[in-house]
Amino acid sequence: MALQESIEGFYRRYGPLVYRRCLALLRDEEFALDAMQETFVRLLQNPSGGEVNHPSALLLRIATNVCLNQIRSRKRKPEDPLDELVHRIAALDDPESRSLARALLGRLSFLDSEGLRLAAVLHWVDGMTLEEVARELGLSVSGVRKRLRLIQRRARIWQEVGS
Amino acid sequence: MNRRIPDWLLERYLLDELPEDRRAELRNRLEEDAEARTRLERMRAETEVFLARHPPAVMVPRILARMGTPSRSAPLRLVPVAAAGALAIALFLVVRGGGGEEGIRTKGLAPALVVHRSLGDRAERLNDGALVEEGDLVQLGYVSAGRRYGAIVSVDGSGNVFRHLPLEGELAAPLESGRTVILPHAYELDDAPDFERFFFVAADEPFPIEVVLEVARGLPAHARRLPLPRDFDQATFLLRKPGETR
């Protein structure tokens, strides 16, 4: 990828999108700006760089994970039920819950906690259908369903989103 | 269909990065969803506002700096010498008439820096690591080795950063190729301690000069490379001051 496109052009095209995503999850302009920069850093450090067909999908995924990590470390008090749900999903990778997550994930070796959290946010926070989540993450619908079921077993999440 | 269209999908629609079948599907949904159309228009407007508030020229250097080292501000240090014309002419003759590229260490195809010091009516070419003093008049040059755009900056022993090429503007300067190019300005070294290190950064595409300045401002003492992506080629040149401590 040409230098100019990879840096300035990339930012001009995708910066606003990434910022909006971060602001929606973090609800703080300053933190969103910081998370946006971190998202681009991770993209530039990614071996695949911008050499993907749809960078917007990759950037949105990276931004979501960056924000969830930030939420987990900031310990900000949630502002409303949806915000609280984001916080609970972010906490999926807390050290105290990691062993449980591993146990749940044991039967699906290809899963990771980041992928789980991402699927959870897309479905329960963004409101995507299982089909939409599957298409965004390049998974089968059954693969998405398995991930969400795993999460639902987590008591804290179950209370919030259980059917 | 009453289900809310996720912002995530609207964002991708806005950038025209949905596969055609999904784009067509979303277009149909948008025709029946006034609220989503309003959100889409708001995103378009916010994009312009965001880029005006946080322009690439400001944000890209910050992003690149995060990949390397923290930044700090620094005042300009070198003093341009107004009457450097005679030296520039002398250097031009030395470089062009004195054997062309023979004495220039291009290290294969890599860009290189060339530094001369004025000795009255003649110019002395300096080696990397040469000892210089306050008041010395130095002139910079470069060999582009085929790279099309470049920037030259320096960092002194106090951590101050100065730009030498281009002197103005936001983007790297177009480079000449096929010869050693001497910059039109000479500089008088001041009393900054220990050393003066020059960096020549070159690439095949134009890039913001601020990218280079930003990473240079956060550079640890005696670092020989700027923390820049591999797209950038770099050459460095060190001038040592008396009493330098390494």
pLDDT digits (tens, 9 = 90+) for B99-146: 333 222 233 467 889 898 877 667 788 988 989 988 888 889 998 888
Cis omega (within 30 of 0) for bond into B166:
yes
Is residue B105 situated within a structural domain?
yes
Q: How far apart are CA A117 and CA A38, in angstroms?
A: 18
Search chain B and give the residue with CA nearest A35: B63
Question: Are B133 and B197 contained in the same domain?
Answer: yes
Question: Are B45 and B89 contained in the same domain?
Answer: no
B134-148, B154-168, B189-203, B210-224, range with the lowest pLDDT:
B210-224
The number of domains in chain B is 2
Taken as a whole, chain B contains a residue count of 246
Give the domain range for residue B203.
73-240
The structural domains of chain A, ordered by start, are: 1-76 (1.10.1740), 78-163 (no CATH)
The CATH number of residue B222's host domain is 2.60.40.2550
Is residue B1 situated within a structural domain?
no
CB distance B207 to B172 below 8 Å: yes
Between A23 and A150, the higher pLDDT residue: A23
B128 closest CA partner among B113, B140, B117: B113
Question: Are B87 and B199 contained in the same domain?
Answer: yes
Is residue B68 situated within a structural domain?
no
Between A26 and B83, the higher pLDDT residue: A26
Considering only the beta carbons, identify the residue of B11, B66, B203 that sits closest to A41. B66
Is residue B139 situated within a structural domain?
yes
Q: Does residue B195 register a pLDDT over 70?
A: yes
Q: Which residues of B touch A (CB under 8 A)?
A: 3-4, 6-9, 11-12, 14-15, 17-18, 22, 43, 46-47, 50-51, 54, 56-57, 59-60, 62-64, 66-67, 203-208, 211, 229, 231-232
Phi–psi pair at B109, nearest 5 degrees: -100, 10
Question: Are B22 and B107 contained in the same domain?
Answer: no
Question: Are B37 and B87 contained in the same domain?
Answer: no
Give residues with Cβ within 8 angstroms of A68, minimum separation 6: A25, A86, A89, A90, A117, A121
The dihedral region occupied by A75, where left means phi > 0, alpha psi between -120 and 50, and beta the remainder, is left
A93-102, A118-127, B110-119, B154-163, range with the lowest pLDDT:
A93-102
Confidence of residue B71 (pLDDT cuts 50, 70, 90): very low
pTM: predicted TM-score of the whole model, two decimal places: 0.53
Is residue B60 situated within a structural domain?
no
> What does pLDDT average to over chain B?
77
Confidence of residue B92 (pLDDT cuts 50, 70, 90): very low
Is residue B58 situated within a structural domain?
no
Search chain B and give the residue with CA nearest A24: B7
Distance from CA of B6 to the nearest CA of A (A): 6
Confidence of residue B35 (pLDDT cuts 50, 70, 90): very high
